[in-house]
Amino acid sequence: MSRFSKVLKVAKLGLQFACFAHAFNQYVAEVTWCLGPSMLPYFNTSGIVAIEHISRHFKEYAIGDVVICTSPLRPGRNVLKRIIGMPGDNICEDPTEKDRKYISVPVGHVWVGGDNLSNSTDSRTYGPVAMGLIKGKVFAKVWPEPEFLRNNLVPV
């Protein structure tokens, strides 16, 4: 085998692996950094979480699910939030205000919020989030303190 054919073979294997890795990250699962205080105390201000993309094809999202979605305010940025309301639910817009207003979550949208209400930019700021902006559901904290999440996990 000539040197050129060996290089070509390695390049072919590298390209196949890159295609597999891309497809796996887009359609099966991925890991990502989460930064910021909005999900304290359950999620640290910086850490790594594992996201899966498969269950949305077989099961609806539910209240309590922690999801990664594209930020409606900054489309190039992802946010880690908990689903608080599903389509048709009547949600208190901001439970931290004295004069509470309620909103009905529109069809095809969810209401998301951070666990740390005092320091979270969430649906209270940008309104209901289209389900098409949800990238996947968090199924595990990878670092620090690795832990697999259960459905509808609510921090204590």
Would you say residue 126 lies in a domain?
Answer: yes
* Per annotation, catalytic residue among 9, 59, 71, 81: 81
Would you say residue 15 lies in a domain?
Answer: no
| Tokens encoding 107 | 């069809």
Catalytic residue check, 9: no
Beta bridge partners of 33: 48
Please tell me the pTM assigned to this model: 0.82
Three-class secondary structure of residue 16 per DSSP: helix
Percent of the chain with pLDDT over 70: 95
Give the residue numbers spanning the domain of 101.
29-148
- Tell me the CATH number at 83: 2.10.109.10
Q: What distance in Å separates the CA atoms of residue 41 and residue 142, rounded to the nearest whole number?
A: 16
Would you say residue 4 lies in a domain?
Answer: no
Would you say residue 118 lies in a domain?
Answer: yes
Catalytic residue check, 98: no
Least confident of 20-29, 37-46, 97-106, 122-131: 37-46
Would you say residue 3 lies in a domain?
Answer: no
Question: pLDDT tier at 42 (50, 70, 90 boundaries)?
Answer: confident
Would you say residue 33 lies in a domain?
Answer: yes
The pLDDT value recorded for residue 150 is 59
Would you say residue 155 lies in a domain?
Answer: no
User: Does the pLDDT at position 72 exceed 70?
Assistant: yes
In the chain, the number of structural domains is: 1
Would you say residue 153 lies in a domain?
Answer: no
Percent of the chain with pLDDT over 90: 57
* Per annotation, catalytic residue among 5, 6, 12, 38: 38
